[in-house]
A and B are shown apart, each in its own frame.
Chain A
Amino acid sequence: MKIVKKKNELVISLNPKIYPLEAIYGACYVFIDRAYLFLDGDLNKEVKIFLKGKKELSPKELEKLAGEFENELLNYSLRLSIAKNTKNIRETIVERALFSVLPHEKELEKINKSEQIDEKTIENDPLGIAVPWEEKYGNKKHSH
């Protein structure tokens, strides 16, 4: 990493193989309320970050800003690497959590049985609800 300090501005040159672009976006975003940021360069060789203070910064404040930016870059890079390494385990945990909410086999059997009972009851039709009107009353005319 190379840092060039100008008046109220830093130019940080990074190797994109060490710091992924996503980490660069993340670190820039953290500073968006304190500085004006602009990205340029080549993704295969060198990424340049132009960081300009929103208010006038002394050389000491500028140096502090540079240090904080470097820390944030490392922070984001580490976060990304942890997220990548733990992707499978996180997915497994979510899958298990969702699976545990599903009803167990015994409960499923119970539900199936109760459904079967209901079907039988419908087949019996003790009240004759399923009998069509014509079959039950023929073609009788009703007066109201």
Chain B
Amino acid sequence: METKNIVISFNKNFYTIDTVKKAIQDYKGIANFDLKSNKKEIKVEIKNIKLESEDIIKEEFCNYVLGLMKNA
């Protein structure tokens, strides 16, 4: 069964690429991640999500990155 892909755009004013990379490293067990970055934003595409985490992965991932930012 195919799962949907999710794209999240993190504003570089509030999120750093190192933090997003760290979060991807920690989340790599439950999905595949593709990272792109331009001047203004960091784009993360989440693919092949394990079914049980499909509904909440986007929000949980964003919270996780924000938590890392607070402690960065």
> Per DSSP, are chain A's interface residues mostly helix, strand or loop, or mixed?
strand
Report which residue of B14, B62, B66 has the largest number of chain A beta carbons within 10 angstroms of its beta carbon. Answer: B14
B3 at the A/B interface (Cβ < 8 Å)?
A: no
Assess the A37–B63 pair: CB atoms within 8 A. yes
A32 at the A/B interface (Cβ < 8 Å)?
A: yes
Assess the B62–A38 pair: CB atoms within 8 A. yes
The residue of chain A having its C-beta at the shortest distance from the C-beta of B15 within the complex is: A39
Assess the A39–B66 pair: CB atoms within 8 A. yes
A40 at the A/B interface (Cβ < 8 Å)?
A: yes
The residue of chain A having its C-beta at the shortest distance from the C-beta of B41 within the complex is: A40
B38 at the A/B interface (Cβ < 8 Å)?
A: no
The residue of chain B having its C-beta at the shortest distance from the C-beta of A39 within the complex is: B14
**With A28-B70, A29-B67, A29-B70 known to touch, is A37 a contact of B62 (CB < 8 Å)?**
yes
The residue of chain A having its C-beta at the shortest distance from the C-beta of B14 within the complex is: A39
Chain B interface residue count, CB cutoff 8 Å, equals: 12
A59 at the A/B interface (Cβ < 8 Å)?
A: no
Separation in Å of the A82 CB from the closest CB of chain B?
A: 19
A111 at the A/B interface (Cβ < 8 Å)?
A: no
The residue of chain B having its C-beta at the shortest distance from the C-beta of A27 within the complex is: B70
The CA of A29 and the CA of B15, in the complex, are separated in Å by 14
Assess the B63–A32 pair: CB atoms within 8 A. yes
Top 6 A-B residue pairs of the complex, sorted by shortest distance between their CB atoms: A36-B59, A39-B14, A29-B70, A25-B70, A43-B13, A40-B11
Besides A36-B60, A36-B63, A43-B13, 14 more A-B contacts (Cβ < 8 Å) are A25-B69, A26-B70, A29-B66, A29-B67, A29-B70, A32-B66, A32-B67, A36-B59, A37-B62, A37-B63, A38-B62, A40-B11, A40-B14, A41-B14
Query: What would be 11 A-B contacts, judged by CB atoms less than 8 Å apart?
Result: A25-B66, A25-B70, A26-B70, A29-B70, A32-B67, A36-B60, A36-B62, A37-B62, A39-B11, A41-B11, A41-B14
